[in-house]
């Protein structure tokens, strides 16, 4: 039996696919920005913060890194309402992505902070800067520039992971594929095209993060 | 009244005592070089003066403020004392101008425009005003060290501590940095330097302090130290140079 | 449906964990073998083969695992084969794992100082001898910890196979939730079971990293 590919069958669904791309981009944008903020705050808490903060942050990081994203998402979306926290599917997805990226990002950013040469802190101290001032003005930016490639890689992983959000009916790219498959029965074509779109999105996202990194961190590579 | 006053300073790393009771007064406007073999404790002593190293016994007073006081006191003290490091320690993510402006704006809350004028003035003093928008990575080692001096000067310190500031430089870049230090000495800045540049120390310093095995072994004006060393250790040290 | 105690839930979940473990091991072993082949192609001198292998790695690292699972599930049907969910799951996870492992190993081989290759070549060693005596012994040492660590990713990856209908820990969690209406408890327990599987492996990987790096530095 020979299968006839019919990508033309997808044409009526272009708006559905584009809407899916849009939602995936939206999830990624919010997840990334908020996730990086969480990473920085937790990395600070883990490397220089008070002891009573280090333990809970460490627990959070290990708990998230050692459980699947889909279970984290289900726990937030299906589990939290029974303790009175109701989130719509999009908010639950963004929250799950932020929590997930935050845990990985914390370890990545912390590695950048740890690699700060001692002389940098000493130069700041000898100019009369306080501990928090040294962190904010001297340590943070070179630390981020040092680990930007690793952090970018993690952002791409989180974007690809957002495919799972289709399982709580967020109408992102994967949801579009499933929708088309259920209507047209052109499963292969739908999943093939959507997979290609994810590939393009991933390559684009990598370029944007690389160029963005160059803009945000001038002055060359920090040692 | 001395600007910096060390009394009976003791410091050890575990069992290893690196400073064994150091007392030293430094007057305003005085230019002092700490000399001695590596491991004699001279860099440690310098780093104690602005609290980068803690110590176990004794006291350090800078313009009447004790280094051992609260963190807030220590920060105030550090604003009065500048430090230049062997490795320059410029902030790689900031332009030259921003490196110099950082402490005035963040610590002293100087307004942006005022801080920029100040930074340009200080960079002009070290001959690098035209590098205001360059990044440290684009400068030679000698230029980076001159920026580091300008950065310290922008806090208008009462004294500068110089920790082997030419040791990491290629030989042909040493002189441009020493020229800047020579100017500062001439203008009456209080300078405490750890250096291996004996000829330079002899030329600009009012007093040389020879350290040996964690003690102040011998000190005096350059002519006396160079021409009539009294102890065998100093004679041996000078003989090696 | 009535009278599900927490203990009943936990017992059913632990029973389903068997399939998670079995699939993880199968995918890891399969991925290990395929990954070695991809790595071998990656370091070939013929440039187009190396590019092809790198493209393979890039492809699997830049698309969602979920999509790979869907394609593995639906593509055979085009040619008249109906594969059961577990076969599709195992195939997709194997390929996905092979891409990541090959990339990890390639990074380890490249992390060796270039002087090692040159010194070996200057002694007149052939490519195979160079690999066998100089490069592999050193690369294996630095590759061990991240390879073990990737097992955590594989175990977590198996959770997605529930979406194409393979009954493992996550799928059991969903089924039990639908029966008990206790999502908080059920998904909480599911997460804890995954944690109990993954955390010791993560710790072991870190322990290996410290131990092997320390030995490496001592040389």
Domains and their CATH numbers in chain A? 12-216 (1.10.3720.10)
Task: Specify whether the backbone of C2 is left (phi greater than 0), alpha (psi in -120 to 50) or beta.
Answer: beta
From the list A67, A83, A160, the residue facing C63 with the nearest CB is A160
Q: What is the pLDDT of residue C3?
A: 62
- Rounded to the nearest angstrom, the minimum Cα separation between A28 and chain B is 28
**Contact residues on chain B for A130, CB-CB shorter than 8 A:** 71, 75
Contact A71 C183 (CB under 8 A): no
**Contact residues on chain C for A188, CB-CB shorter than 8 A:** 71, 74-75, 77-78
Percentage of chain B modeled with pLDDT above 70? 99
Q: How does pLDDT run across B125-145, given as a tens digit for each residue?
A: 999 999 999 999 999 999 999
Which of A128, A131, A144, A214 should we substitute to test contact with B (largest number of B Cβ atoms within 10 Å)?
A128
Which of B49, B51, B72, B93 should we substitute to test contact with A (largest number of A Cβ atoms within 10 Å)?
B93
Contact A218 B85 (CB under 8 A): no
Mark out chain A residues that contact chain B at CB-CB < 8 A.
117, 119-120, 122-123, 125-130, 133, 137-138, 141-142, 145, 217-220, 222-223
Split at pLDDT 50, 70, 90, the class of B69 is low
The C-alpha atoms of residue A56 and residue A44 are separated, in whole angstroms, by 13
Q: Which residues of chain C fall short of a pLDDT of 50?
A: 1, 218-219
Contact B85 A123 (CB under 8 A): yes
Q: What is the pLDDT of residue B77?
A: 87
Q: What is the pLDDT of residue C78?
A: 81
Domain ranges of chain B: 4-240
3-state secondary structure A20-35: HHHHHHHHHHHHHHHH
The C-alpha atoms of residue C169 and residue C12 are separated, in whole angstroms, by 9
From the list B94, B107, B135, the residue facing A129 with the nearest CB is B107
The C-alpha atoms of residue B99 and residue B112 are separated, in whole angstroms, by 13
Contact C194 A66 (CB under 8 A): yes
From the list C64, C159, C199, the residue facing A68 with the nearest CB is C159
Contact A68 C160 (CB under 8 A): yes
Q: What is the DSSP letter of A139?
A: I
From the list C65, C80, C195, the residue facing A1 with the nearest CB is C80
Contact A195 C173 (CB under 8 A): no
Q: How many CB pairs below 8 A link A and C?
A: 119
The C-alpha atoms of residue C200 and residue C91 are separated, in whole angstroms, by 26
Q: What is the pLDDT of residue A2?
A: 61
What is chain B's mean pLDDT, rounded?
Answer: 92
When pLDDT is averaged across residues B52-79 and rounded to a whole number, the result is: 85
C133 contacts chain A (CB < 8 A)? no
**Contact residues on chain B for A137, CB-CB shorter than 8 A:** 91, 102, 106
When pLDDT is averaged across residues B36-61 and rounded to a whole number, the result is: 90
DSSP per-residue codes, C28-65: HHHHHHHHHHHHHHHT-SSHHHHHHHHHHHHHHHSS-H
Residue of chain A minimizing CA distance to B133? A219
CATH code of domain B4-240: 3.40.50.300
Contact A120 B106 (CB under 8 A): no
Q: What is the pLDDT of residue A219?
A: 67
Q: How does pLDDT run across A195-216, given as a tens digit for each residue?
A: 999 999 999 999 999 999 998 8
Q: Which residues contact C166 (CB under 8 A, 6 or more apart)?
A: C19, C23, C85, C86, C89
Split at pLDDT 50, 70, 90, the class of A155 is very high
What is chain A's mean pLDDT, rounded?
Answer: 93
Q: What fold does the segment set C6-218 form as a domain? A: MetI-like fold (1.10.3720)
Could you tell me whether strands B4-13 and B16-26 are parallel, antiparallel, or unpaired per DSSP bridges?
antiparallel
Q: How does pLDDT run across B142-189, given as a tens digit for each residue?
A: 999 999 999 999 999 999 999 999 999 999 999 999 999 999 999 999
From the list A128, A129, A220, the residue facing B92 with the nearest CB is A220
Could you tell me the strand order of the sheet in which B215-220 lies? Answer: B81-84, B159-163, B190-194, B31-35, B207-212, B215-220
Touch between chain B and chain A: 3 or more Cβ pairs under 8 Å: yes
Say if residue A223's pLDDT is above 50.
no
């Amino acid at each position: 039996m020979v299968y006839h590919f019919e990508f033309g069958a997808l044409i009526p669904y272009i708006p559905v696919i584009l809407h899916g791309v849009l939602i995936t981009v939206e999830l990624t944008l919010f997840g990334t920005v908020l996730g990086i903020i969480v990473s920085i705050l937790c990395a600070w808490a883990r490397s220089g913060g008070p002891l009573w903060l280090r333990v809970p942050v460490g627990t959070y990081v290990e708990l998230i890194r050692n459980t699947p994203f889909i279970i984290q998402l289900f726990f937030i979306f299906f589990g939290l309402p029974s303790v009175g926290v109701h989130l719509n599917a999009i908010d639950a997805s963004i929250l799950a992505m932020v929590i997930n990226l935050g845990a990985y990002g914390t370890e990545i950013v912390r590695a950048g902070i740890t690699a700060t040469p001692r002389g940098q802190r000493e130069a700041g101290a000898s100019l009369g800067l306080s501990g928090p001032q040294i962190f904010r003005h001297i340590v943070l930016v070179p630390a981020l520039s040092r680990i930007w490639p690793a952090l970018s890689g993690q952002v791409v992983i989180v974007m690809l992971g957002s495919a799972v959000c289709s399982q709580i009916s967020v109408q992102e790219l994967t949801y579009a594929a499933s929708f088309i498959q259920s209507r047209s029965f052109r499963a292969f074509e739908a999943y093939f095209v959507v997979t290609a779109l994810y590939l393009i999105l991933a390559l684009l996202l990598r370029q944007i993060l690389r160029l963005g990194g160059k803009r945000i961190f001038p002055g060359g590579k920090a040692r | 009244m001395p600007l910096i006053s060390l009394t009976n300073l003791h410091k050890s790393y575990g069992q290893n005592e690196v400073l064994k009771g150091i007392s030293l007064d430094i007057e305003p406007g005085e230019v002092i070089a700490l000399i001695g073999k590596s491991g004699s404790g001279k860099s440690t002593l310098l780093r104690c003066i602005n609290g980068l190293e803690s110590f176990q016994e004794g006291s350090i007073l800078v313009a009447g403020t004790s280094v051992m006081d609260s963190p807030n006191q220590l920060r105030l003290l550090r604003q009065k004392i500048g430090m230049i490091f062997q490795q320059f320690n410029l902030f790689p993510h900031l332009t030259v101008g921003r490196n110099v402006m950082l402490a005035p704006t963040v610590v002293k809350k100087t307004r942006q425009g005022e801080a920029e004028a100040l930074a340009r003035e200080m960079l002009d003093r070290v001959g690098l005003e035209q590098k205001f928008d360059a990044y440290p990575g684009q400068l030679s080692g000698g230029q980076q060290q001159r920026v580091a001096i300008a950065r310290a000067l922008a806090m208008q310190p009462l004294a500068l501590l110089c920790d082997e500031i030419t040791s990491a430089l290629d030989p042909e870049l040493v002189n441009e940095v020493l020229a800047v230090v020579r100017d500062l000495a001439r203008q009456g800045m209080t300078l405490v330097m750890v250096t291996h540049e004996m000829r330079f120390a002899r030329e600009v310093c009012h007093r040389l302090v020879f350290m040996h095995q964690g003690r102040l072994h011998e000190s005096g004006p350059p002519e006396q130290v160079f021409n009539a060393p009294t102890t065998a250790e100093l004679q041996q040290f000078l003989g090696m140079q | 449906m009535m009278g599900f105690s927490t203990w009943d839930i936990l017992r059913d979940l632990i029973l389903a964990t068997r399939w998670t473990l079995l699939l993880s091991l199968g995918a890891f072993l399969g991925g290990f073998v395929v990954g070695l082949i991809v790595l071998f192609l990656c370091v070939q001198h013929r440039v187009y083969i190396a590019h092809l292998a790198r493209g393979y790695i890039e492809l699997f690292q830049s698309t969602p695992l979920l999509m790979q699972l869907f394609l593995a599930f639906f593509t055979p049907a085009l040619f008249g084969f109906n594969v059961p969910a577990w076969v599709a799951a195992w195939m997709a996870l194997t390929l996905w794992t092979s891409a990541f492992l090959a990339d990890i190993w390639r990074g380890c081989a490249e992390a060796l100082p270039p002087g090692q290759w040159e010194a070996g070549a200057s002694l007149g060693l052939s490519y195979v001898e160079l690999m066998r005596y100089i490069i592999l012994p050193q690369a294996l040492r630095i590759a061990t910890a991240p390879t073990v660590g990737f097992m955590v990713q594989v175990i977590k990856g198996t959770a997605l196979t529930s979406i194409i209908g393979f009954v493992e820990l996550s799928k059991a969690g969903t089924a039990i939730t639908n029966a008990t209406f206790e999502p908080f408890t059920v998904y909480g327990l599911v997460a804890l079971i995954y944690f109990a599987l993954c955390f010791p492996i993560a710790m072991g990987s870190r322990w290996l990293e410290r131990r092997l790096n320390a030995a490496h530095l001592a040389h």
